[in-house]
Amino acid sequence: MVKGLFPIEELSARRTPFYYYDSALLRATLAEISSLLLRYPDWKVHYALKANFNPALLQIIAEYGLGADCATGGEIQAALDAGFAPDGIVYTGVGKRDEDIRLALNAGIGRFNVESVAELQVINEIATAMGKVAKVSFRVNPDMGAYSYANITTGLTENKFGIHHTMLEDAVKQALLMTNIELCGLHFHIGSQILDTADFIPLCNRINQCLELTDRLGVTLRDVNVGGGLGIEYDHPNHRPMADFASYFEVYKKHLHTKLPVHFELGRSVVAPCGTLISRVLYVKEGVHHKFVILDASMTELIRPALYSAYHRIENLTSEEAEEVYDVVGPISEHSDVFGKEVKLNRCRRGDLIAIRSAGAYGEAMASHFNCRPFPEAFISEQ
């Protein structure tokens, strides 16, 4: 029974579907990160806005002094509006647009994570025209995977991301010749939803090699950014509502051989557990082999199951009746508009409130207007 976790009366009074965010859990998570960072005073966590750019959540996250990891000019603006310090903003992305580069330079962001020499040249040109110097880290493609989902693995040779580690030396030499580029760091990101923190050890080894290279080239860096990727327990949101940040930081402490400050870009692990998609049962439909629970939520509010076959725990918040087995689906005419197959739920009836858990990351942020459906609203609990 998880019903005590949710303010059922308040939720019932609202029009569904909507995202419910537990601000107390978000604050507890941020407090845990802040307290662990006391052990590593010059390390910094940047919150990856792509996971969730809801302005009220951003304001809470900014209060805890995190930096921001942004993928577009829109995210940079959202971070600035929420109160993140400009010099704590890093801007990553394989296809930065000129106007977004200008916005970033005007705002005085802390770092461009540059993904190609072609991009570096454009940033240098734009910075020169504006009379500014761009602080840059090279995003290095380390040619190694995260072992979680193949489609959220970003560090392989075949991926579009970063400068391949074998091409780093040439890129560094070119950067050193550019007048309006200051090369400040190296950046990495191998993928997402990584639960076994030992998966980060090969990355540490690759980073150590790359730092040996930059040392050999006589470059003095300011920091190294290891990206994000820490996973959460989608299966057990009640038992483990927080990611294992302590083990995550320890792996880097143990396996990175550098005195440089280490920066992180965490998205999912910060916000996923605090978010729940709340929906209502429209119909319970008897099929030949299956019983279907048809929700008023769909892949337009939460696309992860359709996109990655991602698992989210589903619960009936308003029934205490014996469990039955259902396929839980949305109303859209797409084969993949399914939240879960053969899900055990307390017996469902029309109007029951259904919680789709751990949906705070890559949920609301990836919502669409498909079928002319409105964007989901958000309700943030007072803490």
Please report, as ranges, the residues that interact with ligand PLP according to CB under 6 A. Answer: 48, 50-51, 69, 92, 154, 189, 192, 227-230, 265-269, 361
Nearer to ligand PLP, 191 or 330 (CB): 191
Q: For residues 185 and 190, give the distance between their C-alpha atoms in angstroms, rounded to a whole number.
A: 17
Nearer to ligand PLP, 80 or 266 (CB): 266
Residues ≥6 apart with Cβ < 8 Å to 120: 114, 136, 171, 174, 175, 178, 181
Nearer to ligand PLP, 235 or 334 (CB): 235
SS3 for 264? strand
Nearer to ligand PLP, 139 or 357 (CB): 139
Nearer to ligand PLP, 180 or 192 (CB): 192
Q: Among 286, 264, 285, which residue's Cα sits nearest to residue 197?
A: 264
Least distance (Å) between residue 230 CB and ligand PLP: 6
Tokens 């899900």 appear where? 343
Tokens of 26: 């978000």
How do beta strands 262-266 and 223-225 pair? parallel
Least distance (Å) between residue 287 CB and ligand PLP: 36
Least distance (Å) between residue 264 CB and ligand PLP: 8
Least distance (Å) between residue 227 CB and ligand PLP: 5
Tokens of 288: 């030949």
Nearer to ligand PLP, 230 or 353 (CB): 230
Residues ≥6 apart with Cβ < 8 Å to 72: 93, 97, 100
Least distance (Å) between residue 248 CB and ligand PLP: 10
Angle at alpha carbon of residue 270, lines to 67 and 51, rounded to 5°: 80
Q: For residues 221 and 218, give the distance between their C-alpha atoms in angstroms, rounded to a whole number.
A: 10
Q: Which amino acid is at 277?
A: L
Least distance (Å) between residue 271 CB and ligand PLP: 9
